[in-house]
Structure 1
């Protein structure tokens, strides 16, 4: 008489995902790093995804599984870098928050690759409305939303007027730091950051009667 204690067959073990089914983060990181290095070397116009893959030490297929085109890769990688440095500080005071916003921008703009890429990116955005739309939509919106939160908190604390022009404040901080570090290659030490933060905050305070 046959035993029925183990009548059901054991399902076969599933093999781990590989190839196109699995995208290793280390490969993505290597490709992202290679993109910025190649971009800084050649400029956007001459940037080749084949050269990026070669610099990263991977096949072209690994790159194209992640990004279908140069523009897709550039906009995605720029967005990720921008979000990483676009913190929304909450020190408890407007002066402290503005100081941290400026420090965050300084960290980004001091990076040697960023210093070489940003002017090229802005020039290319003027030539390519499609690239400009992709970059502005994915990067600037996120960064500006996070910095706008700083001024909204200041309004809620009563430090600045409720009708303060937050968009103008965003423009002021970004343009001042960019001009200082990228255009003039000027000093941007902690003393400069403190002076600029005080200048912005004092300009926002209502005049004393």
Structure 2
């Protein structure tokens, strides 16, 4: 069977050019923010023509989210340390490292603010960045269920929210100091909260 040939006239996307553009996008985002970022500025910083950008992405939003996903998704591990405690520690450390990454710390709050004004951007962020990262965390939680460390009916979506929320609140919202013991304390709370089944709430009929 003959190898597939690139159609005559089709653009061949060179990986090194894509990498240079991605770096330029992240630098421009960190420096100027999403609203002021322009394709012209990215092309100039990357040392390419605007056509090189449009051959890869149809619009600014697609380019920005592709660059952020390239940076963010690999920073979300799917650990298998052999215990839920160990896996939670790895996941929480990774969330903290992601949120305190020099580029992410400057870019993410701006993108979240922009997504509040643009439902389309919010949806795309969830699909390209949020869901892939959550899928990796869900893998660790499913392993814990298989090991018998979590109940089979564990609400994975709620559990994933609980994993990221304390770290996000502390790092992004409060900008509080990152004490060494903080993540360990969060792990202990999560272990108690996730593995203990609380009795269902019942509403008493009025007499």
Q: TM-score, normalised by structure 1?
A: 0.85
Instruction: State how far apart, in whole Å, the 2-side matches of 1:205 and 1:187 are.
Output: 29
Matched, 1:75 2:61: no
Instruction: State how far apart, in whole Å, the 1-side matches of 2:60 and 2:131 are.
Output: 21
For the residue of structure 1 that corresponds to 2:181, the secondary structure is helix
Instruction: State how far apart, in whole Å, the 2-side matches of 1:30 and 1:191 are.
Output: 39
Match of 2:43 in 1: 53
Instruction: State how far apart, in whole Å, the 2-side matches of 1:21 and 1:167 are.
Output: 41
Long gaps (5+) in structure 1 = 1-18
Long gaps (5+) in structure 2 = 1-8, 198-207
Match of 2:54 in 1: 64
State whether residues 20 and 65 of structure 1, in contact with CA within 8 Å, keep that contact through their aligned partners in structure 2.
no
Match of 2:74 in 1: 84
After TM superposition, the structure 1 = structure 2 runs for residues 181-200 of structure 1, keeping only pairs within 5 Å, are 181-200=171-190
Which deviates further from its counterpart, 74-83 or 152-161? 74-83
Aligned equivalent of 2:150, options 143, 155, 160: 160
State whether residues 44 and 121 of structure 1, in contact with CA within 8 Å, keep that contact through their aligned partners in structure 2.
yes
Match of 1:179 in 2: 169
Match of 2:200 in 1: none
State whether residues 99 and 197 of structure 1, in contact with CA within 8 Å, keep that contact through their aligned partners in structure 2.
yes
State whether residues 159 and 194 of structure 2, in contact with CA within 8 Å, keep that contact through their aligned partners in structure 1.
no
Moved over 3 A (4+): none
Matched, 1:122 2:117: no
Aligned equivalent of 1:202, options 154, 170, 192: 192
User: What is the alpha-carbon root mean square deviation over aligned residues?
Assistant: 2.0
Shift of 1:102: 0.7
Matched, 1:148 2:138: yes
Matched, 1:131 2:112: no
Instruction: State how far apart, in whole Å, the 1-side matches of 2:46 and 2:10 are.
Output: 18
Q: TM-score, normalised by structure 2?
A: 0.85
Instruction: State how far apart, in whole Å, the 2-side matches of 1:108 and 1:189 are.
Output: 16
Matched, 1:102 2:82: no
